[in-house]
C-alpha cells in the first residue's frame, strides 16, 4: 500500500515525469512532440512513446484561451494543451530491445485497473487528454499546477461534503458521498482520475468512512 501511494505522487504531472531535465523559461510556452503512455498487456506494464504535439503553459502565462484562467482571480493557471487520439502506434524501449506497440483505450484501462486494484470500481470515461485535476475541477484539461485554482476558486474546510475535493501532493480526489459517524461527517465514496486513466470510484464503509483530510470546497 505504501508503494502504491508513493507511485501516485507527481502522477498528475506530464512534465515532471518525463521532461524534468528541460528548463522552462518563465512565461515562454514550451512545445513537445511525444509523450509516454502506460499500458498493460498480459501481465506486463509498458511505457509507450507516442507522437503527440503538446504545449506547456506556466502559471500566469497567457495561452489565448480565457477559459484557462481562474474564475475568481482571472489568472492563467499552469496547464498543457494536449491532445492524443487512441489508438496510436508508438515505441517501447525495454533494455536494448525496441518494440512497437499500439496504445488503445483497452490496454490503457488494463494498466489502470491493475494499478488501482480491487478496492476501486472503474466507471469508464477513459480519456487521455486530461488528468486528475482536470477531472476534479470539471474543466477537462490537463492541469500542471493547481495552486492558482485552489487559491482563487476554493477554500479550505474541515468538514467533507459531497462534491468537495481532497487535495493531495500531486493528486486530487473528489468526494462523491458523505455519511455520518455520530455527529461527525465522514467520506463514504470517492471518485478520481489519474493521468490517462478513466474514472475510478471507491466506497468506504461506515462508521469510520475514509481517512482523509485537507478538504477544499468551491467558493460560492
Contact residues: Zn ion, CB under 5 A: 63, 65, 68
Cα atoms in the 13 Å half-sphere on the side-chain side of 111: 21
Nearer to Zn ion, 65 or 155 (CB): 65
Nearer to Zn ion, 78 or 210 (CB): 78
Q: Least distance (Å) from Zn ion to the CB of residue 82?
A: 10
Between residues 68 and 115, which has the closer beta carbon with respect to Zn ion? 68
Tell which residue, 128, 166, 163, 130, has the closest CA to residue 150: 166
Report in angstroms how near the CB of residue 140 gets to Zn ion at its nearest.
Answer: 12
Rg (C-alpha) for the chain, rounded Å, is 18
Min dist CB 72 to Zn ion, Å, is 18
Name the residue whose CB lies closest to Zn ion.
Answer: 63
The CB-of-55 to Zn ion minimum distance in angstroms stands at 8
Q: Tell me the closest approach of the beta carbon of residue 68 to Zn ion, in angstroms.
A: 3
Q: How far is the CB of 16 from Zn ion (least distance, A)?
A: 18
Amino acid at each position: 500500500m505504501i508503494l502504491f501511494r508513493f507511485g501516485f505522487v507527481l502522477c498528475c504531472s506530464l512534465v515532471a515525469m518525463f521532461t524534468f531535465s528541460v528548463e522552462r523559461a518563465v512565461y515562454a510556452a514550451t512545445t513537445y512532440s511525444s509523450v509516454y503512455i502506460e499500458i498493460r498487456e498480459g501481465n506486463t506494464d509498458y511505457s509507450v512513446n507516442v507522437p503527440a504535439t503538446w504545449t506547456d503553459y506556466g502559471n500566469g502565462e497567457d495561452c489565448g484561451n480565457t477559459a484557462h484562467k481562474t474564475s475568481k482571480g482571472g489568472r492563467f493557471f499552469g496547464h498543457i494543451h494536449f491532445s492524443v487520439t487512441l489508438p496510436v502506434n508508438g515505441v517501447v524501449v525495454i533494455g536494448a530491445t525496441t518494440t512497437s506497440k499500439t496504445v488503445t483505450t483497452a490496454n490503457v484501462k488494463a494498466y489502470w485497473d491493475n494499478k488501482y486494484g480491487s478496492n476501486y470500481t472503474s466507471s469508464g470515461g477513459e480519456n487521455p487528454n486530461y488528468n486528475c485535476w482536470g477531472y476534479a475541477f470539471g474543466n477537462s484539461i490537463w492541469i500542471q499546477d493547481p495552486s492558482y485554482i485552489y487559491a482563487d476558486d476554493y477554500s479550505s474546510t474541515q468538514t467533507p461534503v459531497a462534491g468537495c475535493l481532497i487535495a493531495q501532493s500531486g493528486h486530487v480526489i473528489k468526494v462523491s458521498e458523505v455519511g455520518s459517524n455520530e455527529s461527525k461527517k465522514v467520506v463514504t465514496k470517492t471518485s478520481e482520475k489519474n493521468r490517462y486513466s478513466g474514472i475510478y470510484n471507491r466506497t468506504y464503509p461506515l462508521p469510520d468512512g475514509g481517512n482523509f483530510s485537507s478538504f477544499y470546497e468551491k467558493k460560492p
